[in-house]
Amino acid sequence: MFFSLFGRFFKGATILSGAYVLGMFGFSPSWILVIVFLWLVHKKKLRDKDIRVSFNQDAVTDEKGAILARLEDLPPWVFFPDMEQVEWLNTIIQQLWPYIGHFVEGVLREKVEPAIRANLPTNLQSFKFEKVILGDMPFRIGGVRVYHENTAEDEIIMDVEILYSGDCRFSLRIKGLKAGIKDVQLHGMIRIEMKPLVRQVPLVGGLSFYFLKPPAINFDLTNFTNILDTPGLSNILHKIIVEQLSSVMVLPNKITLSLTESVPLHLLKFLPPAGVLQVEVLEAKQLMASDLGFGSTDPYVIVIVGSQEFRTPVITNDINPVWNHQCEAIVNQVEGLTLDVEVMDEDKTSRDDFLGRTSIKISSVTMAGRINAWYPLEEAKSGWIHLEIAWLTLTDNINHLETIMHQRKSDFSSSLLMLFIDSAKNLPDASQATGEPNPQLKLKIAKYVRYTSVRPKTNNPVWEENFSFLLKNPHSHKLRLEILKYKVPPTDIATESTNRTIKKTTENTIARGNEAQVSDNEQVTSILQLNDSMNSSLEVP
């Protein structure tokens, strides 16, 4: 008892002495409060992360036990999805995990590492993976759902819930500096499409997989990157990683494989979308007042469909804002996809405050055709948002274009241009000193500027990437293609400016001009001669 009282007295005396010393040097007591507050926030963040990591790791080895141990912490509305459990598959993954680790390490060193180097400035070309260790804890499949309705006869569609909270460790070196990532956690739903079904082995012509929405990702940083593991910088780094993942395999982006020679890869990638979702964010009411002392808020709305994200302007000092903001998204899949709407409060001095969200199944919009309704904001004390949502299907009748252009609202589009970039051949070297280029294709039409990925050190790059553009008036737009040598800044290798009519089956896909006239219901396959280059060509199936 004596030692306990003495320890408490000594701790209190130390704090008071420290405060007295800071006062002698002119430091305001408010600085002490700020430091203590930041320390408490950081400790809470670390404690929450440790609890989350511990629970996820326990769930990998004993899912039922981990859930039952925390059942009292779960709210009463929590329920398990109606998905089939596949413990037999998790057992197989456990057995294969050491071999998967060797395979992943080979892919990172032989393919990912050179691709990253090609995208880095010259002074950072020393990038190298030093260690790639997947650890002993594999990812887990939480459940599988196979769709029996609203699917074609020649396809199989399934959703797979992926959970990973393992002991993997990655370390890399760049310009003498070491960085690393550990305690990676990932949770998301992967959609797998097997189509078309064919009559010869392997019975499936192609395989596509992608996330319906960005997965939840968390990780810890090691070595010199520890300085980034603070709330502000860590959020920025996390956002960059999620954006890069979304650009690869969050809908409408997919990873697609051809499993048989009878089904070319471009036929699997170059598919018309299910339709276009037009969203008008009209207004909101009774929003929470998050600005302390002012009783108001500066709201804006984020609209999310897969990896496509749109943002309204900010309305200052208003809990009943009116936006009348229009946006539209290309929808490749309807089943399982949602329209997510988040209302935020802009704060210029700190992180923006969350004011609520709502989620709408796109399948409900396709059934209704058009919805004009008020939606209550979830995870908020109060608030409603007024949305008008329309579902548009595609048509291949070119005669409908003029009517659609006159009937559409001002900020909405009338047509869709789909473009598949296959490859380029015989590109010139940018200079004799640098040798083979790192080519990248730039596409520009209307307000859009898009880039393909960089293909390192080749004069004959193969991209096999598709792009889609929503256009208001296809008669007035010109498509410009430029092949660049990737460096900082990129330099032109060759350019092609095309002014032509393009027509894609099931859609009025047009970019009007005089180079070629294509009849309705015909897919264009072109090999374009590039300007500023004697013998180079670009193939666009």
Q: What is the pLDDT of residue 55?
A: 63
Q: What is the pLDDT of residue 457?
A: 79
Mean pLDDT of the region 506-519: 29
Q: Could you tell me the pLDDT band of residue 9, with boundaries at 50, 70 and 90?
A: low
Which residue, among 349, 344, 348, has the nearest Cα to 310 in the 3D structure?
344
The per-residue pLDDT for range 307-322, each reduced to its tens digit, is 899 999 999 989 999 9
N-terminal to C-terminal alpha carbon distance within the chain: 84
Distance between CA 477 and CA 91 in Å, rounded? 55
- Position with higher pLDDT, 13 vs 140: 140
The per-residue pLDDT for range 238-250, each reduced to its tens digit, is 676 777 777 778 8
pLDDT over 50 at 525, yes or no: no
Q: What is the spatial order of strands in the sheet that 439-445 belongs to?
A: 448-451, 439-445, 479-485, 491-498
Mean pLDDT of the region 355-380: 92
Bridge partners (DSSP) of residue 532 are none
The per-residue pLDDT for range 62-104, each reduced to its tens digit, is 665 565 555 544 433 344 456 788 888 989 999 999 888 888 8
pLDDT over 60 at 295, yes or no: yes
Distance between CA 186 and CA 153 in Å, rounded? 33
3-state secondary structure labels for all residues of 344-400: EECCCCCCCEEEEEEEEEHHHHHHHCEEEEEEECECCCCCEEEEEEEEECCCCCHHH
- Position with higher pLDDT, 327 vs 181: 327
Kindly report which listed range (183-192, 352-361, 427-436) carries the lowest average pLDDT score.
Answer: 427-436
Q: Could you tell me the pLDDT band of residue 506, with boundaries at 50, 70 and 90?
A: very low
Q: What is the pLDDT of residue 228?
A: 53
The per-residue pLDDT for range 195-219, each reduced to its tens digit, is 889 888 889 999 998 988 888 888 7
350-354's contacts with Cβ under 8 Å and 24+ in sequence apart are 351/232, 351/235, 353/290, 353/297, 354/379, 354/380
Which residue, among 292, 333, 326, 291, has the nearest Cα to 312 in the 3D structure?
326
pLDDT over 60 at 192, yes or no: yes
Please, are residues 503 and 514 in contact by the beta-carbon 8 Å criterion? Answer: no
The per-residue pLDDT for range 278-290, each reduced to its tens digit, is 999 999 999 988 7
Look up residue 58 and give its two tokens: 């326990």
Mean pLDDT across the chain: 76
pLDDT over 90 at 293, yes or no: no
Mean pLDDT of the region 108-133: 74
Of these ranges, 49-58, 320-329, 418-427, the one predicted with the greatest mean pLDDT is 320-329
Mean pLDDT of the region 328-357: 88
Q: Could you tell me the pLDDT band of residue 29, with boundaries at 50, 70 and 90?
A: low
Q: What is the pLDDT of residue 234?
A: 61
Q: Could you tell me the pLDDT band of residue 504, with boundaries at 50, 70 and 90?
A: very low
The per-residue pLDDT for range 391-444, each reduced to its tens digit, is 998 887 787 888 887 777 777 888 888 888 888 888 887 555 555 678 889 999
Q: What is the pLDDT of residue 36?
A: 65
Q: What is the pLDDT of residue 64?
A: 58
Q: What is the pLDDT of residue 66?
A: 60
* Helix H or strand E encompassing 446: none
Q: What is the pLDDT of residue 313?
A: 94
Of these ranges, 91-100, 120-129, 215-224, 482-491, the one predicted with the greatest mean pLDDT is 91-100
The per-residue pLDDT for range 376-392, each reduced to its tens digit, is 999 888 899 999 999 99
3-state secondary structure labels for all residues of 129-188: EEEEECCCCCCEEEEEEECCCCCCCCCEEEEEEEEEECCCEEEEEECCEEEEEEEEEEEE
pLDDT over 70 at 480, yes or no: yes
* Helix H or strand E encompassing 473: none
